[in-house]
Structure 1
Amino acid sequence: MPQLNPNPWFFIMLISWITFFLIIQPKLLAFVSMNPPSNKTPTTSNTTPWTWPWT
């Protein structure tokens, strides 16, 4: 059964992971986020309840 022979498939998987870790991943991690998170504290606005005419 050829599926049980790991000879060609293990080499292909190994080359794929090496390519990902050494070439693709550093390029992806080098991107700078266009909208970085801010350190500002969220401000809460003072809201007044709505006065319904039927209550």
Structure 2
Amino acid sequence: MTQKKYISVNVLMDVKCSNMLTRSAKKNMRCKRHEAAARLKDHLLRFGGEWTEKTTTEKQ
């Protein structure tokens, strides 16, 4: 049986996003770490490596 290998990633986020992640984790009955992993995986599978964050001038 082959075991999956997992990599740990540390991220910085503002308080607003941290609170949103905490609420989402509670709603989905997961710990915050697993909620973050699930959300990051979902985003990567949807958008791959082509996604870039819009800069302040692009958002206007």
| TM-score normalised per structure 1 | 0.32
Structure whose alpha-carbon radius of gyration is higher: 1
More helix by share: 2
| TM-score normalised per structure 2 | 0.30
The structure, 1 or 2, with the larger RCO (C-alpha pairs under 8 Å, 6+ apart) is: 2
